[in-house]
Amino acid sequence: VCGDSAPGVIKGTQGRRRSGSPTGWAGIKHAEDGYNTDVNLGPGMALELSWNTVKDAWYWKGQKKEPYHTCSDKEFRNCPVTGPILEPYIGVYGGRGRRSYANGRLIFAPDLSSDAFLSSLSAKDNVKVAGGALAPADASRPASITVPLQSPYVMVKAQGQADGATAEISVDGGKTFKAADLNDFSKAVNGKYAAQVKLTFSKPVKSVKLEVIVQHNRTSLPYLSPGANKVTVSAGDAKKLGDNKLVVTYAYSLGSRRYSYEQLAEGDYEVAKAHKASWSTTPTVVQKIFTAKDLPATFDVPVPTPKGKYPVYPRMLLMRREVIAANGKPMPLPDGAIAPKVGPNDELKSLPNPFLMGIAKPPKKTPRPTVTTKLPLQVSHVVSRTNEGKVGPTYENFHIKTRPKKPEAWVMLVGGELKGLPASRDIAEAQLCIPIVNSHPKATTQVAAVMLKKPFEKMKPYDFKDFGGTIGTVLVPKQPAPVEKAKYYKIDVTRTVKQIARGELKFNGLAIRTVPNRSIDDGWTVRIDVTRKEPIFIELSVYADKKAK
């Protein structure tokens, strides 16, 4: 997927052995001893995980460059499993959407109008809450509080604010403390999963805030999917919440795609590079508040898709968990936030579960009935190019050939109109049918159909520079002599006809030409003759049941 060759992949796997579940790789220790994924929040604390990246807010021991996947988006842009989940972030976070780190915030910002947050502390001495401030209970000696900062995500930067207080930091479980600058204590906590901040003060402190930036992998977060989502909220011991409340907030941007995956494939688009997709700039936010007796709990989050469009994963903005006092207020919502809703022009369309892809055989394709019709085209004339590469004379009819390694060529132009085509999704197949009466006697000929960039006039020269791309080919076997009754050879032009039906391409006509291909024609100057006695047409097969969506 990332450009590795098949032999390279095999060689790489042969040179590596895995045993059990390693705790490190290439000198990198994945986690500290005793690491666990618990999120421990007390009153006044919040853990907000973002899908965004803060510049230079990363940790990678011994490295000078930020952690990222060097293959950019090559590893997922054509992957049907991870690609759709990652494509909302292409060009938004971290350059072209390459896999890299993301950040979040571990916050301690207590409501000093209540003493509920005191239960969050590791230690406290001579402290009281009065008049919306922290103050020494005994004014004759200093007071202190020790705030535990613990996260399952590694800490990378930190700062704080506490009026008139001095700060000390411990990263060994409170055994030792070192003085720190509260304005920036990043160096003290960088690379750690836990720390304690001791604040000492002799006068009332009216505001306290500690904020640690953490580093995480955005692809491991509990993201939302298009359609109906059910979020489960639980606590290890809900009783410990007491009279406080747990607040869960999700913020995301809705999106949709104008093309189906079938249309992306037909157009040679990558399936997960945000082609024909867009996301709103208005954040949709759902916020739920729970008391201890509410837990465990579930709530629904609808992620709709506008009718007539196709679903994509929403662009996740943040997921926040915070504990507030009984009468406390949650942190502010993103600017311009709107509540989720399913409008009259929306549908709860979904995508396949990525965790189940590839674990079973694909469903057996059920044949669908089709109706076949003929779309008539008209053979116009043959145009040529000289051996000097200039526009040559025209012919009413002539053999079609191209000299190998030389500009000289003769090409047949075919016109007509492709109007009133059915919807692209209803087209099962389209075959260009060419009546051929003669081919080379000693070699197979590769014949191609080419779109024209510009219209042509009857019996007028045509510049070969205005030939578009090849839309299909067919092999015509060698033929010892011309035949009276033509044999039809078919070129699959389904993809092109669907693009015309969708209005993506304008039909200016076709060119029928031979393609020198030494692996097929052994270097001969091969040719074909197309008869005017039989019609040239497109054989169009349309689904009769009209169930394709």
The residue extents of the domains of the chain are: 41-101+218-355, 106-216, 370-543
pLDDT band at 366 (very low <50, low <70, confident <90, very high): confident
Mean pLDDT of 377-388: 95
Q: What pLDDT score was predicted for residue 425?
A: 86
Q: What pLDDT score was predicted for residue 418?
A: 94
Residues of the chain with pLDDT > 70, as a percent, come to 94
Q: What is the 3-state secondary structure (H, E, C) of 462-486?
A: CCHHHEEEEEEEEEECCCCCCCCCC
Amino acid found at 515: V
Please enumerate in sequence order all residues whose Cβ is within 8 A of that of 227, keeping only pairs 6 or more positions apart, or say none: 302, 303, 311, 348, 349, 350, 351
pLDDT band at 390 (very low <50, low <70, confident <90, very high): very high
Do 512 and 404 touch, CB atoms closer than 8 A?
A: no
Pairing relation of β-strands 487-492 and 346-347? unpaired
Amino acid found at 395: Y
Q: Does residue 128 have a pLDDT over 60? A: yes
Average pLDDT score over the chain: 91
Q: Does residue 380 have a pLDDT over 90? A: yes
Q: What pLDDT score was predicted for residue 263?
A: 86
Please enumerate in sequence order all residues whose Cβ is within 8 A of that of 319, keeping only pairs 6 or more positions apart, or say none: 48, 49, 221, 222, 248, 249, 250, 251
Q: What pLDDT score was predicted for residue 42?
A: 94
Mean pLDDT of 399-412: 94
Please enumerate in sequence order all residues whose Cβ is within 8 A of that of 316, keeping only pairs 6 or more positions apart, or say none: 51, 88, 218, 221, 223, 224, 250, 251, 252
Q: Does residue 149 have a pLDDT over 90? A: yes
Amino acid found at 422: P
pLDDT band at 549 (very low <50, low <70, confident <90, very high): very low
Q: What pLDDT score was predicted for residue 78?
A: 87
**Both tokens of residue 146?**
């020790």
Provide the strand spans (E) within 391-466: 400-402, 409-415, 427-439, 445-452
Whether the domain at 106-216 and the domain at 370-543 fall into the same CATH topology: yes
* CA gap 539, 532 in Å, rounded: 18
Q: Which fold has domain 106-216?
A: Jelly Rolls (2.60.120)
Between 8 and 470, the higher pLDDT residue? 470
If you write DSSP's letter for every residue of 34-65 in order, what string do you get?
Answer: T--------TTEEEEEESS--TT----TT-SS
pLDDT band at 357 (very low <50, low <70, confident <90, very high): confident
Lowest mean pLDDT among 65-74, 149-158, 458-467: 65-74
Q: What pLDDT score was predicted for residue 106?
A: 98
Q: What pLDDT score was predicted for residue 41?
A: 95
Q: What pLDDT score was predicted for residue 25?
A: 58
Residue-wise pLDDT tens digits, 22-78: 566 555 566 666 777 889 999 999 999 999 999 999 999 888 888 888 777 888 888
Q: Which fold has domain 370-543?
A: Jelly Rolls (2.60.120)
Amino acid found at 343: G
* Cis peptide, bond prior to residue 136, ω within 30 of zero: no
Q: Does residue 373 have a pLDDT over 90? A: yes
Pairing relation of β-strands 255-257 and 208-216? unpaired
Q: What pLDDT score was predicted for residue 319?
A: 96
Query: Can you list the alpha helix ranges (DSSP code H) found in 384-510?
Result: 494-501
Q: Does residue 19 have a pLDDT over 60? A: no
* CA gap 523, 406 in Å, rounded: 12
Mean pLDDT of 237-252: 96
Q: What pLDDT score was predicted for residue 508?
A: 97
Pairing relation of β-strands 178-180 and 166-170? antiparallel
Q: Does residue 192 have a pLDDT over 90? A: yes
Q: Does residue 175 have a pLDDT over 90? A: yes
pLDDT band at 548 (very low <50, low <70, confident <90, very high): very low
* CA gap 409, 111 in Å, rounded: 83
DSSP label of 364: P
Q: What is the 3-state secondary structure (H, E, C) of 91-141?
A: CCCCCCCCCECEEEEEEECCCCCCCHHHHHCCEEECEEEECCEEEECCCCC
